[in-house]
Amino acid sequence: MSDDTGEIGFKPDAIDELLHNPLRLAIVTALSQVEQGDFNWLKELTRATDGNLATHLRKLEDSSYIKVTKTYSGRKPVTYYALTDTGSIALKNYIAMLASIVKKFETDPH
């Protein structure tokens, strides 16, 4: 429902700041579709630079949204990323928040 200021309930404290960033949202969405993916796959999918992607992956890891597994492919080290339960719940909540905004706008476009 919109109030006098034209707001429809997009409360700043209700927003998951981690997922509100488009690149982090893209990473979490991608990992929600697979069991695990490596850095190069995420880079290709999100079209991000190495540094930028690494920074955002670290933020997600620090918040326990994703978990990191380091392994070897032959002699080459490979780092796999996978979504945790915390990340999965956060993504569901974020989608629910987006849906509620759209629904509110549909019922009260003004």
Partner 1 sequence: MKVEQELEQVQKQLAVMRDIVSQCQKLVVEDGTLYILWGSLAVITSLITYALTWFKVPVWTLVVLWIVAFYIPGSFATYKKVHTKKKHVVTFGERVIGRLWLGVLFVSVVSVILSLVSLLPWQGIIVIPFSIGLVYFPLAVLLDWKPLTAFGLVWIAGGAVMLVVPAFYSYLVLDGLIVVCEIIPGILIKKRVHKLIDMAQAE
Q: Which two tokens stand for residue 23?
A: 């690149």
Write out the two tokens for 9: 């309930």
Q: How far is the CB of 29 from partner 1 (least distance, A)?
A: 4
Give the tokens for residue 98: 């987006």
Q: How far is CA 29 from CA 4, 45, 65, 94, in A?
A: 35, 11, 11, 11
Report yes or no: 81 and 36 within 8 Å, Cβ to Cβ.
yes
Phi, psi values for residue 7, rounded to 5°: -85, 150
Q: Does 2 bind partner 1 (CB under 8 A)?
A: yes
**Cβ-based nearer residue to partner 1, 62 or 98:** 98
Q: Does 73 bind partner 1 (CB under 8 A)?
A: yes
Task: Identify which range of 41-49, 51-59, 60-68 contacts partner 1 by CB under 8 A.
Answer: 41-49
Residue ranges that bind partner 1, judged by CB under 8 A? 2, 5-8, 10, 20, 22, 25-26, 29-30, 33-38, 40-41, 45-46, 73, 78, 80, 95, 98, 101-102, 105, 109-110
